Structure 1
Amino acid sequence: MGEQRTLASVVYDSKRKVTRRERFLQEMDRVIPWATLIALVAPHYVKPGRGRRPMPLETMLRIYFLQQWFNLSDPQAEDMLYNSESMRRFARVELGEDTVPDESTILRFRHLLEAHQLTAQMFDAVRDLLAARDVLVTTGTTVDATLIAAPSSTKNATKTRDPEMRQTRKGKSWYFGMKCHIGTDPQGFVHTLVTTDAAHSDIGQLPHLVHGLEDTLHGDKAYWKEADRVAYEAHGGQYLINQRGERTPARDALNRERSRIRARGEHLFHVVKVLWGFTKVRYRGLMKNTVRALAAFALANLLLARKRLVPAGT
């Protein structure tokens, strides 16, 4: 953002109320490790040379994060940069001087992240940051999964549904889409993310969600397996998966007690799906939506940890 200011920007500075959107963007701006994330993308980003001057890398990364938080398509992201002063300020774009990235530029940047799987590296970088700041702990793991819906209609150019998505039954209802499987620490910070189509069983992904250093393992009944319990406890661990079997007052009380800890693993789902709107896939194919999921859960980790990453009053 340059020093040239528009009249609208100057007037915006004089307003008295700080909106919830502004406060949220300010908090996220302080906790995101910009230097680390930019360094991950920089080797793959276009360098200035012949042709049109590329947009600043940090600006494009900031716009990409805005897309995750406000569930914006590429055209919507371009429109919001014209409509919202708070978003322009977060993206470091000034209408009076800077060029606003168009939807094609935003699309190409997203494709760059997908081609090099850079959001997986961002996810790892955020996890390492939380571990280094003693926010993420390794004493236990909670495993869980959530469904992300996909369009089941065949009214499209290919007259087919997404071949990488599948359907599954939950209760008496059928769902078509994908699953996000996560492993979190006892506080609810996700350390592992795996995606599959919706037909994959939850328990089948359990070996991919543990890191091997935990002493306790929590999860709902979908992860219960007697053979796993025997093996886990034989190695000195506490197998605290909710028990299956006939319901009795004692078993119900035990599962309720275990669920008090297990439920913390669902806080990230609330942020990503309810607050940020990632309830339905935007793209075809599991890879593209996995890229988005990794970015969303990394940012959700930072949101939940923001008060511990930034001292009060800064």
Structure 2
Amino acid sequence: MEEMDRMVPGTCRCGLSDPAMEEALHDVPLYQEFAKLDGIAARLPDETTILRFRHLLGRHDLAVDMLRDANVLLQHRGLLLRSGTAVDATLISAPSSTKNLEGEWDPEVLQAKKGNNWYFAMKAHIGVDVHSGLMHTVATTAANVNDLHGWSAAPRRRRTAFGDAGYQGGHKRPEAAGPTWHVAMRPGLRRKLNPFVEPDFLAERVEKMKASIRAKVEHPLRVLKRQFGFTKVRYRGLKKNTAQIVTLFALSNLWMARSS
């Protein structure tokens, strides 16, 4: 079981399919060493075994347990605090092809407009510790779900929370009760500020301070999309993709804290 627990994160991290992972276990000694497998004395798992174990993780939400265990380890080392959080959402593209048995798009992944462009994607809502930049909460939805869904990514036990202008008015929601919220001013109102008038000058300084704190939420997203190369979902349906995203975020926390 421990060997399979090591193998699934390795599959997610390297972006390998189940057949490719089976082949890599036979050809690359580093994968055997990471999974603590002996390619000579033990039988290496085939692609069907890897597939069934991955489905087992998704069926019982074990990826969430993996993230929680990683965060408990980081918390014991004093790297993950509980004072403040920052929330944000990001789009992760999905294949728009209809060349499948049903001849249609994934019904759980819909279109959304960002700027002047339309995207067929899913959306990941995350909550990040404002001191360390480590991710503590993640939820996934279709792309057309409003960012305000991410207010639930801020646990009530945290004293303060930060969000961009897309979260305006969210503090009125019951699930947002608990922390004190600091939300960015709408861009249209901010452009009207006069830097030569003292109240507007101070308001601009406050907005810059909030932005500098809120920037920590971008760090796990950068690791997810650049270091791990996860820019497009691999599976059909939110459940399978959520399991992979949560696993990658757990790995991103360990990667970001590797030198601490």
TM-score tier, shorter chain, comes to 0.7 to 0.9
Question: Of 206, 212, 217, which residue of structure 2 is paired with 1:265?
Answer: 217
Deviations along 1:225-264, one digit per CA (max 9) or x if unpaired, are 3x738x9xx9893x33211132135455543332222111
1:163 pairs with 2:107: yes
SS at match of 1:307: coil
- What residue in structure 2 maps to residue 228 of structure 1? 171
Q: For the residues of structure 1 that align with 2:237 and 2:149, how far apart are their CA atoms?
A: 21
Q: For the residues of structure 2 that align with 1:203 and 1:112, how far apart are their CA atoms?
A: 31
SS at match of 2:209: helix
Letter of the 1:283 counterpart: Y
- What residue in structure 2 maps to residue 20 of structure 1? none
Question: Of 191, 208, 211, which residue of structure 1 is paired with 2:136?
Answer: 191
Structure 2 contact 157–178 (Cα < 8 Å) conserved: no
Deviations along 1:94-149, one digit per CA (max 9) or x if unpaired, are 33332221111111111111121111122222222322332211111100111111
Q: CA deviation at 1:211?
A: 1.3
Q: CA deviation at 1:214?
A: 2.6
1:306 pairs with 2:258: yes
Letter of the 2:107 counterpart: P
Q: For the residues of structure 2 that align with 1:224 and 1:286, how far apart are their CA atoms?
A: 27
Deviations along 1:130-177, one digit per CA (max 9) or x if unpaired, are 223322111111001111111111112210100011110000111112
Q: For the residues of structure 2 that align with 1:236 and 1:111, how far apart are their CA atoms?
A: 36
Gaps spanning 5+ residues in structure 1: where?
1-56, 309-314
1:137 pairs with 2:81: yes
SS at match of 1:273: helix
1:284 pairs with 2:226: no
Q: For the residues of structure 2 that align with 1:116 and 1:141, how far apart are their CA atoms?
A: 27
Q: For the residues of structure 2 that align with 1:68 and 1:236, how far apart are their CA atoms?
A: 34
- What residue in structure 1 maps to residue 198 of structure 2? none
SS at match of 1:306: coil
Q: For the residues of structure 1 that align with 2:119 and 2:155, how far apart are their CA atoms?
A: 30
Q: For the residues of structure 2 that align with 1:135 and 1:73, how far apart are their CA atoms?
A: 33
Change (3 A) 1:155 1:236: closer
Q: CA deviation at 1:224?
A: 2.3
1:1-314 matches, within 5 Å, as: 57-186=1-130, 187-206=132-151, 208-225=152-169, 228=171, 237=180, 239-244=181-186, 245-246=188-189, 247=191, 248=193, 249=195, 250=201, 253-308=205-260
Deviations along 1:191-246, one digit per CA (max 9) or x if unpaired, are 1111111101112331x111123332212211123x738x9xx9893x33211132
Letter of the 2:217 counterpart: G
Gaps spanning 5+ residues in structure 2: where?
196-200
SS at match of 1:199: coil
Change (3 A) 1:71 1:252: farther
SS at match of 2:102: coil
Size of the alignment, in residue pairs? 246
Larger of the two Rg values belongs to structure: 1
TM-score (normalizing by structure 1): 0.73
SS at match of 2:13: helix
Deviations along 1:44-80, one digit per CA (max 9) or x if unpaired, are xxxxxxxxxxxxx122111111112111111111122
After superposition, the CA RMSD in angstroms is 2.2
